[in-house]
Structure 1
Amino acid sequence: MPLSSDHIDELNLLSQFESSSGQAGIKVHRGDAASETVQAAERLFAKGLITQDDGGYLTPMGSEAVELTQKLHSILTS
């Protein structure tokens, strides 16, 4: 089961969130960000992982996804 480029874009965007703080969000600036990043934010919002379609904050499920993303990254880079 290979990961699609859309999933990779979503994982890359999730990795930009601070997992230790629910108070730190991100903003995807549509005029400056790559189209892949803008589309990834929209998909993450539609999936209920972030609070706004241009970033915002992590939802509880989004926080869990970030933790799992960090664990996977740690495994792959060790």
Structure 2
Amino acid sequence: MRYNPALMDELNLLLHFNLDTTQQGIKVHHDADPDLIAAAARLHEKGLITLPDGGYLTELGRETAEHAQSLLGLLKTPEPA
């Protein structure tokens, strides 16, 4: 399986969550990009976020977001010194 645009949208949405607190969620507004709205709905269906339009990370969602953010950090091109 490869990363497809839908999975990339889900990963990008997970990057918006602040992992320093469990008291802060996100809201995907009805006029947001349709791909972002669909990504939020899929993450909710997978049990990673509490609401179809965002909300908070579930326990599994937090673990997944941690991995997504770590992966981004590992793959990100280092900035020149």
For Structure 1 versus Structure 2, the TM-score category normalised by the shorter chain is: over 0.9
Cα distance in 2, alignment partners of residues 59 and 2 from structure 1: 25
Equivalent position of 2:49 in the other structure: 50
Structure 1 ranges of 4+ moved more than 6 A: none
Structure 1 residue identity aligned to 2:37: V
Identity percentage over the alignment?
Answer: 47
Whichever residue aligns with residue 46 of structure 2, its letter is K
Question: Following the alignment from structure 1 to structure 2, what is the Cα–Cα distance between the partners of residues 75 and 12?
Answer: 15
One-letter amino acid of the counterpart of residue 23, structure 1: Q
Q: Which runs of 5+ in 1 are unaligned?
A: none
- Amino acid of the residue matched to residue 34 of structure 2? S
Partner of 1:35: 34
> Over aligned residue pairs, what C-alpha RMSD do you find?
0.8
Deviation at 1:5, TM superposition (A): 0.5
Matches of 2:2 and 2:35, distance apart in 1: 18
Paired residues in the alignment total 77
Structure 1 length normalisation: TM-score?
Answer: 0.94
Equivalent residue letter for 1:14: L
- Taking the aligned partners of 2:50 and 2:24, their CA distance within structure 1 comes to 12
Structure 1 position 21 matched with structure 2 position 10: no
Q: TM-score, normalised by structure 2?
A: 0.91
> Match of 1:51, SS?
strand
Match of 1:74 in 2: 73
**Could you tell me how far apart the structure 1 residues matched to 2:24 and 2:39 are?**
19
How far has the Cα of 1:19 moved from its partner?
1.0
